[in-house]
Structure 1
């Protein structure tokens, strides 16, 4: 059974499926039928995968060497109306912390400026009263 999705839709999460063999590294290949089923769902509902910034895989089986498998199972799929409303949206792959999945975060209005200077933390700042005051106010 299929339900057609329309408009300003966003679907995000672990789909437990990939759209091509390029979204998998290690282990055996996924079946062409499994991939086709997922891509047909995306296409038939006129959804767009808005991609991801960072390392390409969001899941790992956490094994070592030849037994290591990585896949891009997590993603954001959006409808065309939504994509037109947020054309600059970007998805960031964040660092895993305890899970076999890396969290992903969508930013609908990403900052376009980039500082040419690196921020450097100085431990001595912790002892400065003005720094403590400014941090607590912010």
Structure 2
């Protein structure tokens, strides 16, 4: 399952620039998206909540260091959605096409500068080919979404 923090509970919502304080999260499985209200308090609590919901992948544009460590320790993969406004359906397509960067301990601080996460400087990455994985199941999925 994939989780993405989003701004509203509408199907045409944008990815939220928040993580721990995001109002909603979209949970994506093949042919289904469910948007749930985030009732957790803080990033580490959200990380634990996502793991309890069997999330394997998080796509986000912002994340603190402690929640990031918690997610990695729980075996989740975290992908960077970029720092530009992007709608949910578009970020799913980017993920499916392998166009999102997998966050690691090496690139986390470069991409997600906690003090300046909206900076234009953090949107460009040197993505390695091994980070760019194809996800063919999600390519057809985006055309058949059911909310």
TM-score by length of 2: 0.27
TM-score by length of 1: 0.28
- Report the structure, 1 or 2, having the larger helix content: 2
